[in-house]
Structure 1
Amino acid sequence: MAKKSTRGKEVRITVRGLSGNQVPCEVRAEADGLSDVGSVENSPADCEGNPPPPPPGENQPPVCSILQPTGNASIDLGESVYFTAEATDPEGGMLLYEWDFSGGADVRPTVMNPGDVVFDVANGNFITTFIVTDDQGARCTDQRVIEVGSPPEGLPPKVNEQPAPGTAAAGNGDNVVLAFNDLGMHCADLGSYPLSILPPFNTVNTQVVRKGSTGSNRPLILNASQVAVRYSAASNANDPAGAGSINSTSQNYPPGTIGGASLVRKTDFWDVFDEFGNTIAALLFPGLDPLPDEGLQTLANLDHGRYMPGISNPYYNNEPQEFSGYDELKHWFTSQGIPMSSVDDIGRLNSFPLMRVQAVDIGTGQVLATSDAVVPVSTEVDCRDCHAIGEVGADSSVRGSGPLFVSAVSANRVDVETAAKHNILALHDFKHATTFVIDDQPVLCAACHRSNALAEVGGPGGIPEVESMSAVMHGFHGRLQVDSTGELVRDGAGEPVLMDPPNLVGDELALIPTGEGIPMEQNCFSCHPGKITQCFRGAMFTAQQKCDDCHGGMLAMGGEFALNTGHIREPWVDEPKCSSCHSGHGEDTVGKIAYDPNDPAATPIEFVNSRFAENLGSLYRNSLDNHAGIACEGCHGSPHAIWPNRDPNANDNVIAIQLQGHAGTISECTVCHENNSFPDGTLDGPHGMHPVNDPSWIKSKGDFYHEDFVWKNGEDQCASCHGADHKGTRLSRVPVDRVLRDADGVIRATLNAGDIVACDTCHSLEKSFED
């Protein structure tokens, strides 16, 4: 008997701690020789004489295998391999298919039998993985290794790593490192010559938290007067790119070699270009001359560009490097412009390398905490699909005396892309009277066409009277149109006939279509990372969202229409909002499109509830939660890669698993708080949450009961996550198996991952509405 209350002549007795079949069907009350029997509300289903249906069996993963090739295969560059497979689901549910060729092929088929697949990267071993996912998210895989040409041999052994998270030398558990990439994907050129869109440039931000409880002992975000933060290369034994893949240097191997002379080619950014000893990097960024393995100096890098950990002795050293500094406004350390490449130290493509981030005590030099953050980078900034010779953007037959287009010197992807970039410059010279081809110097597009990705960190600001890079790329290509046969519409001179956005009639057919039912491979992934790298890969991707659901179509991205505010879209500034789709109430339908579909500018919908909103006037990647100023990205992951990644082994998931034992949003209070920090409960957690899986919240040893919070401030505090009926919503779904114990150690409920927590999981719904 936990509670007795008297209301007039009524005596109410409450028994706590019963759940499931522990709840009786009837209760008999006896007094002075009299008795009565009453039925119990919300009693088990078998009380009616009908046993409840058996619980569903545990979902079994699908079964899959690659049929062809029957084993590993060896081919020459440009040859194909024929792939077929089979897959079944024990429950007979729907299956999704996916093929990953580890970057060796420029496709990512989503069918069971893709047939012939051409491998266009020279001299490598490519792990080919067939992935099958059922309707419950369970997966199976099968693999083959395809050897193309002559993979490198005689490479140095793997570099040593700093102590791994969870080991004694990595910290004593009193502090925590919340490290996160700012964008979710950084793009760099496959080759920086003859033109460069973006250089090797990656940014990692980090908050260091000293654990605590509440009040004067609450967790504390540490600053540069207390700790220094540094990074070095790390690896994941289960890395999908290959066990132990590590990226300690961005120099080619052997260091100083160029092109075909390199056994491992990572980038040409620091290659010597001319007889004067100028590197491509120095010619692209006049006034800067970064060393090999040094990034660009920026507003945050007053000393020098950030260094790769192997700069002192590439392929042998892995020395921790200091972050750029501490941002007093954001309360985080930033490392801006790490020149990361997408090729690991033995030549494998890995667009999701890891950096080990350590917080070090300023006074003692002791490592306080360590985490491994993904530092994503892709060279899948493709021009060749349209500008390789003979394609729509390099067709010599359409003009009488047009530009001179060139063919690639080989079938190797980097050579095809180099030729495509040359063809772009030739077309630019032809249309705009520039002399790029004759000058034969590396060209930085952003030198004329402002790119806020560079300008915002102190890079070139472009020419004011010239349209921005985003406007010319999205706007121009978005106005290209095709006829009913799919041919580009041209005038008599062979020039494209562009759409007129202010005067569209509605029957235009875009060369790059967007909208419902059109896969991303036909639009955004034609140029942005997607066919190989999958820039967009997080929870929203798993929910089958598409790029244009948030960003709109090509003309919207190009700023061809004014936003609802009256101004023209500013790239990297006017971006979608989380709250455009997520209201913060579990009963609300999650939006599928972040803007009014009738708005051609795709103006982000303004939030009507601030629970999941960014900071006013800011973007998600720059926002801090009202809960102690913790960065949104520190708990949810980076844009385009919101946790969890559907691949349990993905490097995106590593840091969350290190911090809380499972992938997904950081939801365990004990990541930053000591155990038993909330004996009296609280609703001051992130987004106004109560403590998660906290024994005292479930039932304390004292007089506190969490139902005391239900009607705090006169409003139902449970409804946002558990629903107005308190029966649970998607926001109360548990990410992992849980056993809910109260402060006395009594088990109140046992939950499986994915179960929705309702208020009657542990007690009656009636009790949850008591005032």
Structure 2
Amino acid sequence: MNTLRPATETRPARRLLLGVPLLALAVLLAPQAVSAAAKIKIAKAAWSEKAGTLTITGKAKGGTGAVEIYDINGRRLGSGQGGSFAVTLNRQDLAGIPCAVRVQSGDTEVIKPVKGAPKSCAGAPACGIVSPGDGTVLQMGVETHFEATATAKDPAALPFKYEWDFGGGAMGELIAGSYPPAYKRPDALSTRVQFVRNDSRYRVRFVATDAKGRRCEDSVEVMVGNPPSGLPSKVSEQPPPALGGELDGAAGDVVVLPFEEWTFQNSSDMRYNPNGYSSFSPTVNNVRAYAFRKDVSVRPSAFFRGLSARGTVSPDSYRGGYGDDEARA
């Protein structure tokens, strides 16, 4: 059984620009190193009302990839690389003072309450996924029962709102009698879903939010089929480049451009359909990406000569700048 997880206080504030956590989608373009399971220890997670800062420090021993730091609501706070991490954020950088933070490295994650968090955090709910357990192996197309618990510390904050996230592996809860099959987002403590994507690992999350906006969450990792081994580690997420700095970087840097399935013309190579953008309605929630490896042989003047008034790139400019290193993921 999983450890019950604390929650966070939310309040109107300037929202933090979120980075979407992505796996290393360009497997062929990244170093072929085997990811090791990290042992994470959050040494400090503290809010200073006097200084107006949130400080998070710790170590991730044994891991080789990026360390990602989030508040308990899933807002990305920062990242690190290697065996240690340290993040300090000012009040204006936060959407709200969190009751807890979550640190993730590879398939390992740890949650720690924030010292000095608002007193209302003491009344936050606690959550736990009861079934299935962490590391359970499932079969694609076979209905699986998921069950969680949520405990209220503040009875005045009931009722709860429940959410499940299956990491993109399941469509949701099948609506009985629907034809063609239709699905809905699970909104109860228990649900039954079928995973529709095989041979992968999925981080399944359960979240409960009380009537005062305080949340708690728990997660388990499940395996569907036979996931591949020896994949490269996830690299640290970076903010988008400033206008005019798109070509900065070193040879070999990999740029990943995520998109919803219908957002790009994703059925062909960018060298032959260089525009790569086509709006489509309705959009769907399958996430894909184009991945490019930078080549120092590109000349900025030649690159920008290939840009049209609408910002598209000609095939010649792509071949000159990226050559055969362009790939779809």
TM-score bracket, shorter-length normalisation: 0.3 to 0.5
Larger radius of gyration: 1
| Higher strand proportion (structure 1 or 2) | 2
| Higher helix proportion (structure 1 or 2) | 1
